[in-house]
């Protein structure tokens, strides 16, 4: 349990505790309590980014490649989406997605197919067997690494943390 003066005596300390203590000393007029949570979230995000890049690089993938392939894989059979749906799934611009799809087509991980319900210009992006194989293998490595990252928490602690983080992040979604 943290106190306004810092972590409880029996709690582990980290770099954020030092940062918060310094701000409390240097700017005592400010309530820097949000730093205790959000600075840790930011630092964990950087660690997670490194962990993910490591898991993906073992399969020759960049993070963005995994994101597009994973969106298609999660879509279910026949593992295809429109470019517009991919934009929503990956939070990038139309021009960026066109470039990404082009590069993934070049690697043989996806293919463009005519949209049966659209006009001649409408396409669907479909995961190929090669793309499915690489994203499945990368996902397995990612999940193993993420389990290891969270091993310091018990199952109930992980569920509680997920619930709390969902409450904070939900207003930014959709």
Q: In CATH terms, is domain 61-174 a member of 1.10.10.10?
A: yes
Q: What is the pLDDT of residues 140-160, one digit of tens each?
A: 999 999 999 999 999 999 999
In the 3-class helix/strand/coil scheme, how is the chain assigned residue by residue?
CEECCEECCCCCCCHHHHHHHHHHHHCCCCCCHHHHHHHHHHHHHHHHHHHHHHHHHCCCCCHHHHHHHHHHHHCCCCCEECHHHHHHHHCCCHHHHHHHHHHHHHCCCEEEEECCCCCCCCEEEEECHHHHHHHHHHHHHHHHHHHHHCCCCCHHHHHHHHHHHHHHHHHHCC
pTM: 0.81
Percentage above 90 pLDDT, the chain: 76
pLDDT at 7 over 60: no
Model confidence at 1, in pLDDT bands (50, 70, 90)?
A: very low
Q: What is the pLDDT of residues 51-79, one digit of tens each?
A: 999 999 999 999 999 999 999 999 999 99
Domain-wise residue ranges, the chain: 13-57, 61-174
Task: Please state the length of the chain.
Answer: 174
Cα 45 to the center of its chain, rounded Å: 9
Q: Please state the rounded mean pLDDT for residues 80-94.
A: 89
């Amino acid at each position: 349990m943290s106190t306004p003066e810092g972590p409880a005596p029996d709690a582990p300390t980290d770099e954020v505790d030092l940062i918060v203590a310094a701000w409390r000393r240097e700017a005592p007029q400010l309530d820097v309590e949000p730093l205790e949570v959000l600075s840790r979230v930011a630092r964990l995000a950087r660690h997670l980014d490194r962990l993910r890049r490591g898991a993906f690089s073992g399969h020759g993938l960049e993070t963005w490649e995994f994101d597009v392939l994973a969106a298609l894989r999660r879509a279910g059979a026949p593992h295809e989406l429109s470019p517009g749906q991919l934009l929503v799934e990956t939070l990038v611009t139309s021009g960026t997605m066109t470039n990404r799809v082009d590069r993934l087509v070049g690697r043989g991980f996806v293919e463009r197919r005519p949209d049966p319900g659209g006009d001649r210009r409408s396409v669907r992006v479909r995961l190929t067997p090669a793309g499915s194989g690489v994203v499945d293998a990368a996902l397995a490595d990612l999940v193993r690494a993420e389990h290891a990252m969270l091993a310091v928490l018990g199952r109930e602690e992980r569920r509680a943390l997920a619930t709390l983080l969902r409450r904070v992040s939900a207003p930014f979604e959709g």
